[in-house]
Amino acid sequence: MDYYGNDNNGSGGFQNDPFSPGNDPSFSGGWDNGPSMNGEDPNHHNKNKRSRKPMSPKQKGAVKIVALCLVCALLGGLAQPIYSSLSGGNETTIYTGDRTPTQVDTASVDTSKELTTAEIYAKYVNSCVGITVDIVSTNVFGQTVTGAAAGSGFVITEDGYILTNYHVIDGANSIKVTFDNGKEYTATYVGGEEKNDIAVIKVDATGLTPVVIGKSSDMLVGEQVTTIGNPLGELTFSESTGIISALDRSITMSDGRQMNMIQTDCAINSGNSGGPLFNSHGEVIGIVSAKYSSGSNSSSASVEGLGFAIPMDDVASMVSDLVKNGYVTGKPIMGISVADVDESVTSYGVPQGAIIRVVTPDLCGAKAGLQAGDIVTKIDNTDVTSASDLTSAIGNYKPGDKVTLTIFRSGETKTVEVTLEESTPEKTEKQNQAQQEYQQEYQQSQQQQQQSQQQQQGSSGWPFGSFGY
């Protein structure tokens, strides 16, 4: 019987056996006359070497079996046979691995030591949640439109406080939270901080497993990180892992805000926003927030391997404020909305700066006499050439501080003194409402304004309308 199970007329030979020397060109001429493995001339023999005797069929069979076993061992590693033998006949042996499944004892998981990604997942998957929201918005025609969105979050207290991104729940009419065990809760909005893209929501539950907050300032480029989230809003509780690609990245968001970020190559997609970024000790050192896109439209193809997370050190005190007070205390507000001056108007002698689009009634900006269309060029002794310059500068002050704004209004330069107020949810809501009213008016009359602007540009008066266009 040969390797293929052929009888070979009872010759006991190996004519059709691929392991037979006679059928392998490299063994032509028999075992002694074939090419040397060390490159020696096959016709040159060392006189001191003993010539080999031809192998019997029985011996050749042993070679075949050894070779077969070696091949199986190489393919299967350490394995246990689950079927039959090699001791004759035409039976086949099948091997299966005997690896003992990994067991994770979550009770023994300790953040004082490095954990495997399996341990991180087993310990904290119950601390991670999927978030779905119904969003109510107004379209360009003033009609109310309801949509849906999804994101991620993670438990920060045993009594139900959950941290996520502000943009996940922004405009939400209702918020649903789902845990890994299948339990679903209706969450309430506690408070948020739009500028830093964080929000706290709460579910009516106790005995939850909170995450452990770590220090993002202790992290180094190249260290391993892991995230658990809800990619695409469908693949809930998915874990992906990678490294920290960079620290202290200044990233420009879609609305023009500048944010300090941790860069990572973890797989991050829509729906991962708001999820935790764990270090190798199972501590949360960041909040997954954004991913680079190849275009300004979120539906366009995204760049792979470039994800970003908000460093926990930047927002930890804000999160505590949100849980305790429902808003971040000690933040100043001026009660205005600003944008960059369009470069197309600078040729008319208009300076660069932050143009005021909206002045919120009854707040400090309106009380000081600021008007829509004013261009802020300086705050105290700090030059302002863009909207981000002004918002960044205001962040260096406290409520109650007096600031002097240098403004450009109707071709003249003036100064206005403003006493900053503390930002509260009520004042923020009032400012947001004023912005929404402006946006609706602008969207509905954009074409008419453009026609009016073209006519005004041909006159000798202020050529850019009441909002500086």
In the annotation, is 197 catalytic?
Answer: yes
Separation between Cα atoms, residue 319 and residue 98, nearest integer Å: 48
Of 233, 248, 131, 196, the residue nearest 392 (C-alpha): 196
Of 169, 166, 131, 129, the residue nearest 151 (C-alpha): 131
Cβ atoms within 10 Å, residue 171:
13
Separation between Cα atoms, residue 171 and residue 61, nearest integer Å: 77
In the annotation, is 410 catalytic?
Answer: no
Using CA atoms in the order 462, 463, 464, 466, what is the torsion angle rounded to 10 degrees? 40
Total residues found in the chain within this entry: 469
What is the distance in angstroms between the CA of the first residue and the CA of the last residue of the chain? 93
Separation between Cα atoms, residue 167 and residue 152, nearest integer Å: 11
Separation between Cα atoms, residue 111 and residue 123, nearest integer Å: 10
Catalytic residue among 127, 245, 273, 280: 273
Please give the single-letter amino acid code of residue 391: T
In the annotation, is 167 catalytic?
Answer: yes
Catalytic residue among 17, 152, 167, 240: 167
HSE-CB of 145 using CA atoms within 13 angstroms: 9
Say if CB 7 and CB 1 are below 8 A apart: yes
How far does CA 149 lie from the centroid of its chain?
Answer: 16
Separation between Cα atoms, residue 12 and residue 407, nearest integer Å: 104
Q: Which residues are catalytic?
A: 167, 197, 273
